[in-house]
Amino acid sequence: MNRRRLIQSLACGATIGSGAGQVTSVLSLEALRNIAEAHGLRLGDERLRVLQPVLERRLPLLRTLREMEIDDRIAPTQGILK
């Protein structure tokens, strides 16, 4: 399974809950470890614990980004439009 698939499946499999009015997702350390190992990163528990809450917060944003549909004619731009 490639990295994109892994992150997509992770995003789909995440549990959505709401705490104090804010939407969060829940990831397990084990899931993160598997993702990291799948793309060649061996991360210790300490690094995984740093990552876990940040990724949890960002999953809803990533999910929204992935669901956005863009016209096929739109190419990426860096800097400014010429």
Partner 1 sequence: MNASEILFRPVTELAPLIKARKLSPVEVVRAFLERIEKVNPKVNAFLTVTADRALDQARQAEKDIAARRYRGPLHGIPYAPKDLIATAGVRTTNGSKVTSNWIPDYESTVTGRLNKAGAILIGKLNLLEFAMGSGQKGLAGPARNPWDLACSPSGSSSGSGAALAAGMAPLTLGSDTGGSIRGPAKSCGVVGLKPTYGRVSLHGVTALSWTLDHVGPMARTVTDVALMLQAIAGSDPNDRNAAAAPVPNYAKALNGGVKGLRLGVPSNYFFDHVHPETAAALHEAISRLKQLGVVQVEVQVRQPGLASSISPVILGAESAAFHQKRLREHADLLDSLVRERLEAGSFYSAVDYIKALRLRTLVMEEMRRVFETCDVLVLPAGNAAPKLEEEIVNTDAPTDPPRAPRPDTFNLANVAGIPALVLPCGFTAGPPSLPLGIQFCARPFDEATLFRVGHAYQSTTDWHKRTAPLNG
List the one residue out of 60, 48, 51 whose CA is nearest residue 19: 60
Which residue in the set 4, 17, 28, 37 belongs to the binding site for partner 1 (CB under 8 A)? 4
Q: Which long-range contacts (CB under 8 A, 24 or more apart) does 16-25 make?
A: 16/60, 23/60, 24/56, 24/57, 24/60, 25/56, 25/57, 25/59, 25/60
Strand ranges (E), the chain: 15-19, 22-26
> Using CB under 8 A, which of 12, 30, 45, 74 touches partner 1?
74
- Interface pattern 37-56 for partner 1 (x via CB under 8 A): ----x-----x--xx-xxx-
Q: Is 75 in the site for partner 1 (CB under 8 A)?
A: yes
31 binds partner 1 (CB under 8 A): no
Residues near partner 1 (CB under 8 A): 3-4, 7, 19-22, 24, 35, 41, 47, 50-51, 53-55, 57-58, 61-62, 64-66, 68, 70, 74-81
